Amino acid sequence: MKIQSSLKEYEVTIEKDETFFVKLREMSNTFYVIDRKVFDLYRELFSEIPEEQLYLLEATEENKVIETALTICEKITEIPAKRNATLISVGGGIIQDITGFVANVMYRGIRWIFVPTTLLAACDSCIGGKTSLNYKKFKNLLGTFYPPEAIHVYTTMFRTLTDRDYKSGLGEVIKFNIMAGIDGLENMEGSIGKLLDRAPETIDRFVASSLAYKRRFIEADEFDRGERIKLNFAHTFGHAIEAVTDYVIPHGTAVAIGMIMANHISGEREYLSQDIIKRSEKVLLQVIDIELPLLNRSIDEYMRAIRKDKKQESDSLTAVLITSYGDHGELSVMHDITQNEIQSAINYFVKLYGEKV
């Protein structure tokens, strides 16, 4: 699948076997940044990479900072290639965010190839070109737009993801499908069991369809000024949940909860029928595994977290809601979300999830 960007055209390939790694190893002037856990799990794939061309990185939010980026820049200065260097990074969204930033600023931009090893990175973040670093207590405050030259998705690697991380990725897969409309929702209802079983061809199919769906938005609005903002469906609430729980709840899971909250508000406003809401919830609840007391925070904390979300442009609360539903979902950026609606959506989710467990 080809992605058009004003910076470059780049391609995502869904790989069937490991031969692409052999091709990558044959390239000259490469420098690898690999998620340490992935390196340990798949040592045989990386065994021939010379030590001086390799940096192993633990995928933690604490490491997603400018200091780590500078350390990697420093390592790259030590290989002879300079501007001809190609950075190859292997890992999930954390590794992607750091290495995309490095590739962008190093010599004002070096070649970058990304191998996403989490479902979340493969189905969502690997395209779109956003790079992000956390700064002080602000998540993703620093960042640029810089897509890789090529993305190789090798879904076989997802079999070693923890349930927590795998289901987090499913949260985003479900998001794209629910946004897409009735067919997407039906697809999800029919395939969620296979996805939970990690059936390889089902994963490949949903990664491809998620990326194809996202591609339309990023190609229409690469720099997140208009149409692309709709991809933030459920994210205002998701980001708040991540923040108030100190990121114990992973991104895609928080987005799944955020979808239930957003759809509840859409239901109260009579934008969305109870039938669609219930059917979506049935799918979503299958990927949400959380300790409910984590959400037991005051409404003030949620409101503070939402206001800090850098996408909130003014005092009024903004969120993307589904505003009508049919062959495709109609999404709108709403600027009039009230504190009462948010409180009601949190209460609603807590009650719903409480009944599940």
* Minimum gap (Å) between residue 270 Cβ and ligand NAD: 31
Continuous segment of H or E residues that includes residue 291 = none
Number of neighbouring beta carbons within 10 Å of residue 308: 14
Among 102, 120, 256, 334, binds ligand NAD (CB under 6 A): 120
Rounded-to-integer distance, Cα 85 and Cα 258, Å? 41
> Which positions from 50 to 69 touch ligand NAD by CB under 6 A, shown as an x/- string?
---------x-x--x-----
Rounded-to-integer distance, Cα 332 and Cα 112, Å? 34
Q: Contact 96/76 with Cβ under 8 angstroms?
A: no
* Minimum gap (Å) between residue 162 Cβ and ligand NAD: 7
Query: Closer to ligand NAD at the Cβ: 34 or 185?
Result: 34
Among 39, 68, 69, 92, binds ligand NAD (CB under 6 A): 92
Residue 86, token pair as written in the block: 């190609």
Using rule CB under 6 A, residue 160 touches ligand NAD: yes
Among 12, 30, 35, 254, binds ligand NAD (CB under 6 A): 35
Query: Closer to ligand NAD at the Cβ: 128 or 258?
Result: 128
Stretch touching ligand NAD by CB under 6 A, among 43-51, 116-124, 324-332, 347-355: 116-124
Using rule CB under 6 A, residue 38 touches ligand NAD: yes
Query: Closer to ligand NAD at the Cβ: 41 or 299?
Result: 41
| Burial category of 247 from C-beta neighbours within 10 Å (exposed 0-12, middle 13-18, buried 19 and up) | middle
Using rule CB under 6 A, residue 41 touches ligand NAD: yes
Check residue 82 and give left, alpha or beta (phi > 0: left; psi -120 to 50: alpha): left
Which residue's beta carbon is nearest to the bound ligand NAD? 93
Q: Contact 204/155 with Cβ under 8 angstroms?
A: yes
CA 81 to chain centre: 32
Rounded-to-integer distance, Cα 36 and Cα 38, Å? 5
| Terminal-residue alpha carbon distance, the chain | 40
Using rule CB under 6 A, residue 94 touches ligand NAD: yes
Using rule CB under 6 A, residue 254 touches ligand NAD: no
Query: Closer to ligand NAD at the Cβ: 61 or 221?
Result: 61
Continuous segment of H or E residues that includes residue 161 = none
Which residues of the shown chain bind ligand NAD in the complex (CB under 6 A)?
35, 37-38, 41, 59, 61, 64, 91-97, 117-118, 120-121, 124-125, 128, 130, 132, 140, 157-158, 160-161, 165, 168, 250-251
